[in-house]
Structure 1
Amino acid sequence: MKDGPTLMETEAAEAPAVVRRLLVTMRGTFANIGARLRAAPPAVVVTCGRGSSDHAATYAKYLIETMTGTPTASAALSVASLYDAPAAAPGARLCLAISQSGRSPDLLATVAQQRAAGAFVVALVNAGGSPLADLADAVIALGAGPERSVAATKSWIASLAAIAALVAAWTEDTGLSGTLDELPERLAAADALDWSPAVAAFAGATDLFVLGRGYGLAAAQEAALKFKETCALHAEAFSAAEVRHGPMAIIGERFPILALGGTDRAGVSVCDAAQEFRARGAAVLLADPGGGGDLPAIAGHPAIEPILLIQSFYRMVNALALARGCDPDSPPHLNKVTETL
């Protein structure tokens, strides 16, 4: 057992300050990118990332498609790095590359391919002086600082905040930009919420589902990864719509589920699914910004609620890892930077 807070807990608690600094230092960059995208609207958006960064890309997909109507899809990085296939047909496009280190060879190969096809490349990257930044037309420096814990926390929250700020600048949406001004304070409040019932509920679990939908699907994906990464707990993320197909066949008595709700229609559908599965005997814990959930959550703009939920989740999953006898800072077989080919 570690003495004092883990690196993961400490770094996750730094997220409010990181986001506050990001929104100030990158304000001009967001405005410039937004003006460029309005002047030359992309026909498509291609996202590039792996692991947690690809989960952030899921958030970007829902936010960009719902607020701009621009089709957004995640690139299969192996197409460029292993098959050397010409997957990037010429045309007006935005390439949104998201990375903690900016050094993974398959990511770089894909971004280079996109740029060669004429894409406007925007890189969201935490590490300074990275090869990814050198490839980009515009760089959003996340500025989260070093993360010594293998489990990324503050940099992932910064990625989502940066995506929201980019889309707010692109669309000139005053509602979204206004709520971003309040995000650091709300993140601090979310970090202080008590999710300890989830530690008790999941301490002995072997399998688990995490449900989300819409803007919240990315948070469910990130939560499932962190369960596996820090707690050695097999967890899978599903949309509250998708889980009603094949996956729901294994949901029975006492099957553990973490449901991440929200105040928009997608979030309400998660709450509905949680109630349905609870009626079937599943052990469901619902975090619902709309109220009435098992775990406390903060309501706000629907696009911001998942960021607040994951802030609360990080503190909980750190405690769960310790309760299960795991070291969340140094999971077995994992390195901080994964350079996939």
Structure 2
Amino acid sequence: MTLNAGAPPEHNTPADLALGFLTGAVIGASLTAFIGGCVVERAPLIVTGLVLPSVYGLVFLLATLPRRAREAAVVPRTALAVIESLEAVGGETSDVPVRFELSVAPDDAPAFRVEIRQDVNLVELPDYRPRGVVVVEYPPDRPWKTRIVKRPTPQWEERAAVAQMDSVPGPAMKSETPGGCFSGLLTLLGLLLGTAAVLLLFRADLFDAHEGESGAPKPSVSSPSSTTTVTSATGTVALGAGQSMLDRGELRRGVASLTQGADERQALTVVVQDRLLTVVFSPTGVKSAGFDPRSLPYDRVPGLVEEARTTLGVESPRSRQRTADGVTGSLTLRIVVTGSGGRGSLEAYGQGNVLRRSGK
């Protein structure tokens, strides 16, 4: 006998498309927040990345609870089906995913053709063959969710053993259908918009360099291997490994980075160590002694350091400190050399002329 095919299920409904878009947005937002929070060490971003998918999962669970309760209340229908074709589609374990195409013939409902995927144990796989009759179960309102009953009751097993069935013409309903190109594009769009929303809402945490209040430190990286920090009272430049303030032009660049935008700002003291420059500024609005740190004789400093190293009689010099002092009103340069044999100092006028030496 020839049986009529049932109508295939509808896919890509507006609700499914909206759910795919929202899921993509949650994935993009949570991943961006969590990874960004770990990079910039911001707890609110990390918490957002962890809480957002949890809240979304809980809302989805509560929203779909009535539908899942209705589906669970539907009593499945048992019927006979003939295997039109079968194909193993992979698997590296004892249970192999198999794609079945079945013609299902219920006793009190129209017959239909359906394609399903079901795991079958390797030992039982020879029991399934084309044109073989099997017992199946399916929800009456969702026939595409048909499943083969592996251990039917004796009554149904006897019926399957003696049944003769014809194929059902027409297209086969599928239990697993791809969402389609449009659904995938909506999910991708949701992911991108979720990412953009996090970047926009937390742009201050992720990108902006925070400027503190007056007198608070305002760190900024001036180059990949140096760090500049300026406050209302002091400024420092720390060089990275392998660099020295005695390198050509390094001291001038360091002072310039601390005084940019402050044309009238005077300094009381400038202290130069091997990789650290410190400037103590004159109090703002107070008339006091000081000097323009940009007027230092940069070209004379390396020569004065070498002269102090070789003429002060300090054995095995390990460290050198250069100080420009203008507290007393006149600018004085002081080079201090420290070694295993003690320490020595060299003083010079502001333009680099040596005033006095003292050793040990």
- TM-score, normalised via structure 2 length: 0.17
Q: Which is bigger in relative contact order (C-alpha 8 A, separation at least 6)?
A: 1
Structure number with the higher helix fraction is 1
- TM-score, normalised via structure 1 length: 0.18
Q: Could you say which structure has the larger radius of gyration?
A: 2
